[in-house]
Chains A and B, each alone.
Chain A
Amino acid sequence: MPTETSTLETSSEMDQRSVITGPCDRWVAARVGEEPCRLQPAEKVEHAAMPRKAYRTKLAGWGRCPVVDGLEIKSEDLEKSTENANLCRGLGRSYGDSSLPAGAEDTVANTTLADRLLSFDVESGILRAEAGLSLLELNRLLLRRGWFTPVSPGTQFVTLGGMVASDVHGKNHHVDGCFGQHVRSLKLRTADGRIIECSDAHEPELFRATLGGMGLTGHILEVEFRMHRIPSPWIWGESERIPNLDRMIAGLKEAAGQWPMTVGWVDCLARGKSLGRGILMKGRWAESHEAPDRPPKLKRRKRIPFEFPAFALGKASMKAFNLLYYHKHFRRVRRGIERPDAFFYPLDAIDDWNLVYGRRGFTQYQCVLPHAEDNGPARRFLDAFVSGGGMGFLCVIKDCGPEGKGMLSFPRPGISIAMDFPVHRRKTQPLVDRLNERVIAEGGRIYLTKDAFTRPEHFRAMEPRLDAFNAVRRKWDPQGRLRSAQSVRLLGDEK
């Protein structure tokens, strides 16, 4: 509650003081004839309406599994709300336990109300904003003005802070790399409470550890990055039906040279000769002469009104979905103008689509496997998934470009495969173990943002970079204050 002591009767010094007006660089006295006055830091006024206290709540990631108890604090003033927090959390779109508190007494600062744009240079595209700004809002504001985020993940329900912490990649990874590549500077609150600005020039080690560092190196308060200029707010897209895995990977590699954005959807229930069949999508921003004159209208999103019952997710319904999705694409090739949200965020059209997986929730598994002439790694991986009893609605495949500068950032050259599957009490853990063993054998690695089931020994086996990352964490946070449920599970943090 407010700690301010000056009440109505006691505050009389204000009568003598002149009114302070902004902007900061020219705080002036409004009364004519008075000396301009500058506000001294010592006079910093306490908030009358302080951030409300942390409250007990249940938190879960997008997969709705696991669900944990913890304390959450939510305020417009992120500097204040992160003072005693152990972790920050944005829109909670990481699938597993990345954004969850390590224990019931740990505090997570929710950043979503801290979403102000702080500066935007229309010449260079350099934008600075508070970490809670969502991509949805950024797109709504700047797409029609001809600007787009340099890297976009598959949903717009993410915050800038989350995009940095996960060092997100998108359909343009083979050209533009991860989001971290485009970040110029970050304002962080480190574990000891200090607020520092870090970049390639200033505290570069902390900067690189924070890109893809899952929020474990410091609370991300502000993000400065360079937006991309786009010729029109529409996409020129082409999609193609692909009969098998070899053709899919060849198609991705071939398209990489000509298209700035590519991604493949794979029917992960098809076996044998049609293993890896699917649809390859390619796109670029439409030139202004190709695009409609009007900006794309915001579409009304549909809602899933309730949790689906468990039986809705049998093998039959998944098979039907995958079959339909594949054969809906009648013609082998389709091209034309597309709305950017339909192209980048097909699933965002339905709010709360995670409810489709019912009460027990779901998990996503994403890994990147090194390239090989015969596409062996990807084939063996998909085989392991199908024969291990895995089934899912969605499987996304993408060829990744070079590794980024984030110390623990996920992508590396190779083929990335991501798939959803419902959580099953007995079957999920063995399936994930089996997939992880496959990934270790192929020399690949997994994406922490998706993970809820990996074992620490498996993670260590696929992450030779872990020691370097841990060293930076120990340097900046010797007491281990910053932690998440995931860091306790995977990185050996104390609970």
Chain B
Amino acid sequence: MKAVLLGATKGMGRALARLLAERGERLFLLEHVPEELDRTARDLEIRGADPPVNWAVCDLLKPETFAPALDAAEKELGGFDTVIVTAGLFGTQEELEADREFAARLLAADFTNTVLFCEEARTRLLAAGGGTLCVFSSVAGERGRKPVILYGSAKAGLSRYLEGLDHKFRAEGLKTVCVKPGFVKTGMTAGLDPPPFAGEPGDVARRVLRAIERGRPEVYVPPAWRYVMCVIRNLPRFVMRRIKF
């Protein structure tokens, strides 16, 4: 596997990158802070990634960085077959309601720019004859829910986009994997009260890797969230208006 990872310095992206490193895969990292990228690259090399692990600066808030960064990855790896996107912004509903500017940035990063990045990645993967595009969306996009209205709406759009890609391009060899994490204990969720079925990044990474290998278009992590969301999707509005979830 020759994989390009956007967002591997933190959280679930880091856990997944480490898992790939231990299997000795070729990796290329994209993110926006050079120092962090470099430290993460060294970590992955020591853990067994096929050296050298190189990187390029790519900022999810700056779409003009996407194409050059992916060009650099292509050049460095000699072509890639997998692109994994775990980067994104997160804020609680209260934070986003209080700060309009932050809300604008989050919506742009988590929907528009992630989609634009995927478009860049998709064309390159298709030009190379296919591959896997694995993108982290969220269960927050499954239903309009009180605690995640803004964040969830961006993720809902992203999930739909990925679903469309899968419908259109699977026959041409592009496997789209849409990951829908429920509550996972990472730096992003530190300080929030973990609900039942909260997951660990390491377990999430193992499940996602299996989904990538099998080309599953949609994967819920931890798996219990598939059933939780199935219930939530089917609750009538008058119930959704009353519950806090």
Contact = CB atoms under 8 A, between A and B. Distances in A.
Interface stretch (B61-69, B127-135, B170-178, B223-231): B61-69
A19 B190 contact: no
Given A7-B61, A8-B108, A116 B43 contact: yes
Contacts of A51: 187
A124 interface: no
Contacts of A52: 187-188, 190-191
A14 B105 contact: no
A257 interface: no
Interface string A51-87: 1111101000000000000001111110000000000
Contacts of A30: 56, 68, 71-72, 75
B43 A19 contact: no
A6 B59 CA distance: 11
A75 B187 contact: yes
Contacts of A130: 39
Interface string B174-214: 00000000000011101100000000000000000000000
Given A51-B187, A55-B190, A75-B190, A23 B52 contact: yes
Chain A: interface size category: 35 or more
Interface stretch (A41-49, A242-250, A311-319): A41-49
Contact of B65 (A7, A19, A22, A117): A19
Given A19-B71, A21-B56, A119-B42, A74 B64 contact: no
A2 B190 contact: no
- Kindly name the residue among A2, A12, A49, A73 whose own CB sees the greatest number of chain B CB atoms within 10 A: A49
Nearest to A74: B190
B36 interface: yes
A1 B89 CA distance: 10
Contacts of B156: none
Contacts of A47: 32-33
A31 B70 CA distance: 11
Nearest to B34: A39
A45 B32 contact: yes
Nearest to B42: A118
A476 interface: no
A82 to B, nearest CB: 14
Nearest to A26: B54
Given A48-B59, A74-B191, A118-B43, A2 B89 contact: yes
Nearest to B52: A23
Nearest to B37: A22
Contacts of B89: 2, 48-49
A24 B60 CA distance: 21
B104 A1 contact: no
Nearest to A25: B38
Interface in B97-111: 99, 101-102, 104-105, 108-109
Contact of B40 (A24, A31, A39, A116): A116
A387 interface: no
B61 A19 contact: no
B114 interface: no
Contact of A21 (B36, B72, B99, B101): B72
A54 B9 CA distance: 21
B64 A20 contact: no
B38 A1 contact: no
A18 interface: yes
A116 B42 CA distance: 8
Contacts of B95: 1
Given A7-B105, A19-B56, A76 B61 contact: no
A7 B62 CA distance: 8
Given A75-B187, A76-B187, A49 B10 contact: yes
A351 to B, nearest CB: 13
Interface of B is mostly: helix
B216 interface: no
Contacts of B38: 22-24
Given A30-B71, A49-B188, A55-B191, A22 B102 contact: no
Nearest to A24: B38
- Kindly name the residue among A48, A54, A76 whose own CB sees the greatest number of chain B CB atoms within 10 A: A48
Interface string A117-158: 111100000000010000000000100000000000000000
B55 interface: yes
A232 to B, nearest CB: 20
B215 interface: no
B123 to A, nearest CB: 18
A47 B109 CA distance: 13
A461 to B, nearest CB: 41
A454 to B, nearest CB: 32
A76 B9 contact: yes
Contact of A118 (B39, B62, B87): B39
Interface in B7-44: 9-11, 14, 29, 32-43
Contacts of A45: 32-33, 59
A286 to B, nearest CB: 25
A494 interface: no
Contacts of B34: 20, 22, 24, 27, 39
A48 B76 contact: no
B115 to A, nearest CB: 13
A120 B46 contact: yes
A27 B57 CA distance: 10
Nearest to B32: A45
A39 B57 CA distance: 11
B76 A21 contact: yes
Interface string A80-120: 00000000000000000000000000000010010011111
Contacts of A119: 42, 46
Given A21-B76, A22-B38, A48 B102 contact: no
The 8 closest A-B pairs by CB, nearest first: A55-B191, A19-B68, A30-B72, A116-B43, A74-B190, A21-B56, A22-B55, A117-B46
Interface of A: 1-2, 4, 6-8, 11-12, 14-15, 18-24, 27, 30-31, 39, 44-45, 47-49, 51-55, 57, 72-77, 110, 113, 116-120, 130, 141
Interface of B: 9-11, 14, 29, 32-43, 46-47, 52, 54-65, 68-69, 71-72, 75-76, 87-91, 95, 99, 101-102, 104-105, 108-109, 113, 186-188, 190-191
Given A8-B113, A113-B187, 9 more contacts: A8-B108, A15-B64, A22-B54, A24-B38, A31-B71, A48-B105, A49-B87, A54-B191, A119-B46
